[in-house]
Chains A and B, each alone.
Chain A
Amino acid sequence: MKSPIWPRRRLVQSVVLASMILFPFISRYGHYMWARQTEKMLELWGTSTAGLILRGTDALMRAGLPMEESGVKGRRPRKAVLVRVSDYVGSVPWSSRLFGCSLTDLLAAAESTLATRSLLSVLAAGAILPLLATLLLGRVYCGWICPVGLLMPLIRRLRSLLAFLELPPLDVRLWKGNKYALLGAAAVIALIGGLPLLHYIYPPAILSREAHSFATVLFDRAEAGRFGFPWGFFSGGMIFLGLVALVEVAVAPGFRCSAMCPGGALYSALSRWKLLRVKRVRSACIDCVLCDKACPMQLQPMTDKTGAECDACGVCVDACPTKALSFRFSRTGAALMALLCLGLAAPARAHHIIGIPHYAYDKSYPQAPVLRLRDKIGPYQVTLTAYPGSPKPGEKSEIHVYVTDPALNAPYEKPVLLEAYRLKVFGFQEKIADAGEGLVDMGLHKFQVFYPAVANYEVVLVLPELDGRSTLRFPIVVGEPSSPWRDLALFGGSFLALLVVVRAVKIKRARAALKEKAA
């Protein structure tokens, strides 16, 4: 091996990560293309984050196409772009459709199959390429494709930073069988309970969902005229990943992939008879243990103890000073690989999709701002709609309340009062509208509420002539109020960074002083 392996691996991982972030944007761009709204969106959004992303996606998808549509010069190409867009669907590491070829994660396929106790042909078709690749190459998915691999160097940096700050991180090694136990237990649960659970803790699934949620939230907000960065897109999955990273930094480096990942367990189990292995030239080996120390999976390449756990990351090959280690293929392996490549090269192209969806993405379409809240009070069903559903501060909002008895199918005819409160931090609230009766029209109670500022509000319905629990609360969000938790996290984070810097400076000074003394 002459050139090092890690740059190539980093490149593949980066491409996968970039595609994971990009694909949701591409499919959203496709929606706008279908709706013939791209030009309008580009104009409306200008140079906001969403606007720039849409512009970039547009440039990427139109690359190499002439500015011409149906023979009209100067018009944005549409049909050709729509064909291209359909080549990039989903999320590469979890489930995707690339150039008409379906690819599904083996863990997803296995769990879905077990949970329903049946294997459908669509599922098998998507899982066949990953399965072949794993059988031949082993855990390459873990080493080369899974985007978590990009976190590893970052974690190593943070660990060395901790060591520098004289807070030596622990180095706990967990038993590798844990992940098989987890996989087995999940398989049993899927089989008995019929519920797939592993996608809650499997990073590629979490990341692909978060990427989709990011694109959706960003563009949805831009459609509603809000252009800031969408902090609220991430979910519990992201917090889980953050915690795992924290444990990796402080307690057990690399435990996620080697001892906890159910996907890793499945891939390891399948790669028992793989054809691609790290081989050692015994005569060249000088027993320096550098490869054993470097291995992120905590294996021992120096004594040929790699086996099925090896994810072919090539760190040991790079680390070897005498080039005694290298990847080797068996000849049958090469032949099978050629077959696999043939299979990859001839997928069916996704077909042509042209058409116009039903709705324009138009601000002026009056029903776009949607809010319809429901609740029950006594025998009555209460439905509340607000127009606009997400009002801007200083805007009047029309609230319609419909109270009906579903059993009798008759509207409630006694008075309904409405109050509005502005919610402040930690449960305090301020009344902004006193209880008042609205206009009664065709069985509806119509109110108008004026929201003074960006905040969380609550409108409270009071039904004084109904016994017992006679108020109902509905949340209304005006603008994008900041959450106290976000402020707290921001403050805590910056405070922590400050502490780290202060401590680092202190230690540096102390060391310099020591050196001077010695001199």
Chain B
Amino acid sequence: MKEVSRREFLKNAAATGAALAASAALLRPAAAETGVIRPPGALEKDEFLSRCIRCGRCGDACPSQAIMMFTEANGEKFSLKPGPGDDGTPIIFPRQKACNLCQKVDGEYLRCTEACPTGALTKLLKSEVTTKVKMGVARLDKNLCYSYNDRCCGVCLRACPFPGKALKSAMHEMPVVDPALCVGCGLCERSCIRYPQAIVVVADV
């Protein structure tokens, strides 16, 4: 091995450190800004990005294929752009495929949370869905919703996994969201027949 003087070593180390520090400084704020919908059991924004190793195992495990790995290409359809730290992290576009909370598969746990090798998604029992899952919250635009405009629809009420709790039905199939009980699964958004959808899930609660 080539002998290296202390000065050269320090120079090398300093240069590498500076480059990495600069990239970290550039990446950090951008990564924290995007309010995207993460799989169930995801840690808080910053902690999630620290913990996640971008391996894609949650996406492999998801039985309804709702979990995508965030890239520029798949965010394009929804005007969402990954910040530099968001590349390759799991994300759900409910309009494309919504999380059905593993209702129709066997097993005790939510499958993505069970697959996560790092604990970026906290392992959750299916029975804990109502209390511990908070992917986002459904928001209704009454100007768009058919049921609020003299046409009975009620499709979202039938898609909701917690009907009568998270999504209550008022007169003439008018949906009413209970933000405290809504877990943000996005099944209502997926099922909405209006273009653009009258009910959408937003991540920043």
Q: Residues of A at under 8 Å CB distance from B?
A: 23-24, 27-28, 31, 34, 89-91, 94-97, 102, 104-105, 108-109, 111-112, 115-116, 120-123, 126, 173, 175-178, 181-182, 184-186, 188-190, 193-197, 199-200, 205, 208-209, 212-213, 216-217, 232, 235, 305, 351-359, 367, 370-375, 383-385, 387, 389, 398, 400, 402, 404, 409-411, 442-444, 475
Contacts and interface: CB of A to CB of B under 8 A. Distances in A.
Given A175-B8, A209-B88, A358 B104 contact: yes
A184 B13 CA distance: 9
A24 B107 CA distance: 22
B190 interface: yes
B77 A443 contact: no
B131 to A, nearest CB: 21
Give the dominant DSSP class at A's interface: mixed
B35 interface: no
B42 to A, nearest CB: 13
A213 B60 CA distance: 12
Which of A23, A24, A353 has the most chain B CB atoms inside 10 A of its CB? Answer: A353
B33 to A, nearest CB: 14
Interface string B107-127: 100010001111110010000
B105 interface: yes
A105 B53 CA distance: 10
B57 interface: yes
Contacts of A389: 77
Nearest to B56: A212
Contact of B196 (A108, A175, A372): A372
A111 B53 contact: yes
A296 to B, nearest CB: 15
Contacts of B61: 27, 89
Interface string B136-147: 000001111000
A402 B106 CA distance: 41
B104 A355 contact: yes
B117 A126 contact: yes
B64 interface: yes
A34 B119 contact: no
Interface in B46-65: 46-47, 49-57, 59-65
A319 to B, nearest CB: 20
Contacts of A97: 57, 115, 117
Nearest to B116: A122
Contacts of B149: 442
B31 A357 contact: no
Contact of A353 (B23, B52, B63, B97): B63
B28 interface: yes
Contact of A195 (B4, B49, B63, B195): B49
A201 B64 CA distance: 31
A122 B123 contact: yes
A34 B63 contact: yes
A385 B117 contact: no
B77 A372 contact: yes
A99 to B, nearest CB: 14
A212 B87 CA distance: 13
A357 B63 contact: yes
Nearest to A354: B106
Nearest to A309: B1
Contacts of B165: none
Interface string B70-98: 01010011110000010110000101111
A189 B57 contact: no
Contacts of A357: 63-65, 100, 104-105
A95 B55 contact: yes
24 contacts: A24-B60, A34-B63, A34-B64, A90-B55, A91-B55, A95-B53, A115-B50, A173-B2, A175-B2, A176-B1, A178-B16, A185-B16, A195-B31, A199-B88, A209-B69, A353-B105, A358-B64, A367-B193, A372-B78, A373-B77, A385-B196, A444-B144, A444-B195, A475-B76
B54 A209 contact: yes
A175 B95 CA distance: 51
B144 A443 contact: yes
B13 to A, nearest CB: 4
A185 B13 contact: yes
Contacts of B79: 372-375
A186 B105 contact: no
A195 B87 CA distance: 12
B12 interface: yes
Given A178-B12, A370-B96, A372-B95, A208 B105 contact: no
Nearest to A194: B50
A404 B9 CA distance: 60
B130 to A, nearest CB: 18
Given A115-B50, A372-B95, 4 more contacts: A23-B60, A216-B68, A357-B100, A373-B77
A460 to B, nearest CB: 16
Interface string B37-51: 000000000110111
Contacts of A353: 63, 105-107, 111
B106 A190 contact: no
Contacts of B46: 194
A260 B91 CA distance: 31
A356 B31 CA distance: 35
Contacts of A232: 73
Contacts of A24: 56, 60
Contacts of A89: 57, 60-61, 115
B24 A197 contact: yes
Contact of A196 (B16, B53, B106, B115): B53
A421 B88 CA distance: 32
A186 B19 CA distance: 10
Given A372-B197, A375-B79, A90 B60 contact: yes
A358 B102 CA distance: 9
Contacts of B170: none
A217 to B, nearest CB: 8
